[in-house]
């Protein structure tokens, strides 16, 4: 059997986002072909992409007239992004901000002005910048952070979401807002429900009265809401399965969208008038960010699967599919890659918990539970370098979609709100039980972000179940996370998911693994970026300090030039090597 190496997996390149020039059809996209996210151009009709901007550039957004785009650059991983303007003709770039604030969702409108969300004056709000004089103007003042900012095709209206509040029934409610730049008035267009703070949405073109198409809770699953700037609305009831990433064809007659099917996310196109939809999926796996070509005859989409890293594909309306980037080198040993199996297993309250199981060709007798981050996320049938490395070396990997995961209905998704480390921890323990029924006795746990937090909870509250644990950028204390994470958006977001320490001190103590390090019996590896604004370095450091005081076996490594998630190739390679070496030392029965 061929065993993969870390170096081989680092050669697998990944596309993370893209945008299509509305005039020429040229594609600007983020690719880590040189080791870290950089911007590339795939010109219409070209055989291969060309590098445009090296370094941490991502999230390109073309101007309506084409030939220029804005993008974000975050050199240190601290999410203090600069907004950059790139001129394709001159091949020049200019920093429009460079002032230490955080910017998101930058776009150029038909008048050449930049619309962007920023925390310049507290919570994230919409701003307008005229690049010539360089003057910012705050357009809307809100008490809760805004996200997902998009201007209408004519530039008059700005649509955006506000971070959710909780209704009388205890349900999280995000809201859709509209700002009229002509009148200076803001209105709330709809209550969307759910955890939709960063959800993509789209304006409908080709209609007399501008319409917004946004995801929202409608019944048990997430559907798409079509709402006009006048407030008229209708739910597009498209069946079971969460819907996301709506994209209208240039003539406004066809709607592309994604639908959750178990752990896959499939691509559909629907004729709006006829109500007939077609599955244009590249294959079984995960689709992201469908975007129309200017002629409306095809779409580009990012597609990945368990055995294929994220690549750009072009899909025509008659079903032709063409791969535009090739993330796996020609010499890559694809026979060593592992597919996933969708399984369910019983948990403490009689529910069946879904998950993905990865079986190695030659098992080494050890298993690992991989815990996804979030909240309201999901382990989908996509590309995970860590899992491919571990399975190629004989480890069995189970990735549970414990309660709180998205894609399985609103009731299941909202079960972990105000209960972090509660029922979902029992679901993770039940994943361990499932593996034990298959004969495993040496079981590790691995997770990052919220997954790292849940892994720490498991190691402190379920010490008899775990042989070793590795966590990346984790939460160690709900109290110190609440106090140290970025105000204005992240702290408000936390309040809706865990409450406040003043309102429930016992909960904040009981659900903080740093308070229970004395119960840890398994060796523990912690990996952390120094510039992380979401789960700050102090979280991993405090956990390591408590472990040291208690005499527990642990290792902490900090990457000085990373934030929440590791992007530089050298750091990703080092992290994979450390995780592998750690599990080989403490978990692998065959050494």
pLDDT at residue 36, as a whole number? 87
For residues 235-263, give the mean pLDDT. Answer: 93
Tell me, yes or no, whether 1 lies in a domain.
no
pTM of the predicted model, to two decimals?
0.95
163: β partners: none
Query: CB count, 10 Å around CB of 526?
Result: 24
Tell me, yes or no, whether 357 lies in a domain.
yes
Tell me, yes or no, whether 126 lies in a domain.
yes
DSSP string, 90-117: TTEEEES--SS--EEEEEE-TTS-EEEE
Residues 210, 101 share a domain: yes
Instruction: Give the C-alpha separation, 525 to 372, whole Å.
Output: 17
pLDDT at 435 over 80: yes
Residues 485, 464 share a domain: yes
Q: ∠252-203-287 over CA atoms, to 5°?
A: 85
Choose among 176, 356, 339, 325: nearest CA to 263: 356
Residues 238, 273 share a domain: no
Residues 309, 383 share a domain: no
Residues of the chain with pLDDT > 90, as a percent, come to: 82
Report yes or no: 24 and 68 within 8 Å, Cβ to Cβ: no
Choose among 316, 321, 281, 286: nearest CA to 299: 316
Report the domain count for the chain. Answer: 3
pLDDT at residue 589, as a whole number? 65
pLDDT at residue 537, as a whole number? 97
Q: Point out the domain boundary residue: 299, 321, 336.
A: 336
Q: Point out the domain boundary residue: 318, 336, 354.
A: 336
pLDDT at 372 over 60: yes
Q: Point out the domain boundary residue: 299, 315, 336.
A: 336
In this structure, what token pair is assigned to residue 555?
């290792």
Residues 193, 330 share a domain: no
Tell me, yes or no, whether 325 lies in a domain.
yes
Residues 282, 140 share a domain: no
Per residue in 261-308, pLDDT tens? 889 999 999 999 988 999 999 999 999 999 999 999 999 999 999 999
Per residue in 492-537, pLDDT tens? 888 888 999 999 999 999 999 999 999 999 999 999 999 999 999 9
pLDDT at 115 over 90: yes
pLDDT category at 361 given cuts 50, 70, 90 is very high
Report yes or no: 47 and 66 within 8 Å, Cβ to Cβ: no
pLDDT category at 206 given cuts 50, 70, 90 is confident
Residues 169, 242 share a domain: yes
Residues for the chain: how many in total? 591
Residues 267, 123 share a domain: no
For residues 410-418, give the mean pLDDT. Answer: 91
CATH code of residue 486: 3.40.50.1820
Tell me, yes or no, whether 7 lies in a domain.
no
pLDDT at 101 over 60: yes
Tell me, yes or no, whether 556 lies in a domain.
yes
In this structure, what token pair is assigned to residue 395?
């480890």
pLDDT category at 201 given cuts 50, 70, 90 is very high
Category of 111 on φ-ψ map: left (φ > 0), alpha (ψ -120 to 50) or beta: alpha
Per residue in 331-354, pLDDT tens? 999 999 999 999 999 999 999 999
pLDDT at 197 over 70: no
For 420-469, give the secondary structure using H, E and C. Answer: CCCHHHHHHHHHHHHHHHCCCCEEEEEEECHHHHHHHHHHHHCHHHCCEE
Tell me, yes or no, whether 2 lies in a domain.
no
Instruction: Give the C-alpha separation, 84 to 96, whole Å.
Output: 6
pLDDT at 169 over 70: no
Instruction: Give the C-alpha separation, 403 to 508, whole Å.
Output: 20
Report yes or no: 322 and 371 within 8 Å, Cβ to Cβ: no
In this structure, what token pair is assigned to residue 473?
């950028």
pLDDT at residue 218, as a whole number? 84
For residues 67-94, give the mean pLDDT. Answer: 92
Residues 251, 240 share a domain: no
Tell me, yes or no, whether 215 lies in a domain.
yes
Q: ∠193-197-203 over CA atoms, to 5°?
A: 85
Average pLDDT of the chain to the nearest whole number: 93
Instruction: Give the C-alpha separation, 41 to 248, whole Å.
Output: 23
Residues 533, 386 share a domain: yes
Residues 185, 43 share a domain: yes
Per residue in 439-487, pLDDT tens? 999 999 999 999 999 999 999 999 999 999 999 999 999 999 999 988 8
Domain residue limits at 565: 338-586
pLDDT at 198 over 80: no
Report yes or no: 124 and 116 within 8 Å, Cβ to Cβ: no
For residues 554-582, give the mean pLDDT. Answer: 95
pLDDT at 310 over 80: yes
Residues 569, 511 share a domain: yes
């Amino acid at each position: 059997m061929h065993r993969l190496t870390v170096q081989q997996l680092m050669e697998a390149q990944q596309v993370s986002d893209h945008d299509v020039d509305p005039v020429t059809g040229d594609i600007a996209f983020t690719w880590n072909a040189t080791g870290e996210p950089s911007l590339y151009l795939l010109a219409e009709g070209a055989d291969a992409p060309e590098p445009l901007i090296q370094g941490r550039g991502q999230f390109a957004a073309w101007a309506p007239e084409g030939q220029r785009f804005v993008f974000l650059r975050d050199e240190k991983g601290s999410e203090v992004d600069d907004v950059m303007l790139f001129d394709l003709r001159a091949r020049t770039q200019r920093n429009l901000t460079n002032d230490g604030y955080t910017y998101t969702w930058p776009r150029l409108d038909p008048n050449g002005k930049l619309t962007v969300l920023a925390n310049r004056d507290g919570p994230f709000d919409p701003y307008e910048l005229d690049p010539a004089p360089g003057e910012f103007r705050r357009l809307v003042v809100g008490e809760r952070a805004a996200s997902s900012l998009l201007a209408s095709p004519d530039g008059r209206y700005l649509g955006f979401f506000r971070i959710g509040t909780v209704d009388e029934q205890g349900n999280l409610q995000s809201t859709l807002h509209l700002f009229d730049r002509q009148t200076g008035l803001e209105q709330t267009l709809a209550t969307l429900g759910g955890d939709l703070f960063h959800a993509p949405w789209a304006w409908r073109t080709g209609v007399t009265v501008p319409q917004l198409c946004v995801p929202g809770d409608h019944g048990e699953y997430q559907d798409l809401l079509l709402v006009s700037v006048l407030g008229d609305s209708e739910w597009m009831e498209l069946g079971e399965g969460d819907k996301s990433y709506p994209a209208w064809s240039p003539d406004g007659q066809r709607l592309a969208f994604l639908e959750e099917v178990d752990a896959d996310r499939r691509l559909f196109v629907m004729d709006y008038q006829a109500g007939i939809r077609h599955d244009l999926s590249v294959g079984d796996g995960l689709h992201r960010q469908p975007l129309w070509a200017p002629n409306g005859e095809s779409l580009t989409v990012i597609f990945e699967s368990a055995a294929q890293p994220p690549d750009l594909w072009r899909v025509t309306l008659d079903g032709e599919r063409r791969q535009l980037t090739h993330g796996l080198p020609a010499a890559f040993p694809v026979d060593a890659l592992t597919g996933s199996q969708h399984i369910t297993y019983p948990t403490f309250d009689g529910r069946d918990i879904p998950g993905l199981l990865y079986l190695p060709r030659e098992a080494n007798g050890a298993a690992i539970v991989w815990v996804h981050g979030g909240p309201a996320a999901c382990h989908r049938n996509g590309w995970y370098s860590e899992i491919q490395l571990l399975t190629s070396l004989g480890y069995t990997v189970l990735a549970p979609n414990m309660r709180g995961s998205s894609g399985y209905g609103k009731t299941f998704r909202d079960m972990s709100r105000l209960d972090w480390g509660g029922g979902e921890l029992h679901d993770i323990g039940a994943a361990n039980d499932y593996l034990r029924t298959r004969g495993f006795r040496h079981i590790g746990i691995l997770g990052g972000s919220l997954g790292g937090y849940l892994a720490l909870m498991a190691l402190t509250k379920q010490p008899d179940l775990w042989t070793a644990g590795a966590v990346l950028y984790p939460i160690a204390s709900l109290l110190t996370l609440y106090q140290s994470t970025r105000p204005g958006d992240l702290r408000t977001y936390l309040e809706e998911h865990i409450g406040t320490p003043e309102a429930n001190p016992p909960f904040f103590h009981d659900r903080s693994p740093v308070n229970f390090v004395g119960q840890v019996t398994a060796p523990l590896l912690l990996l952390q970026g120094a510039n992380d604004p979401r789960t700050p370095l102090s979280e991993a450091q405090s956990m390591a300090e408590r472990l040291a005081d208690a005499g527990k076996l642990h290792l902490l490594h900090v990457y000085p030039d990373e934030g929440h998630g590791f992007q530089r190739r050298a750091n990703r390679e080092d992290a994979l090597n450390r995780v592998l070496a750690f599990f080989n030392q403490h978990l692998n029965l065959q050494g």
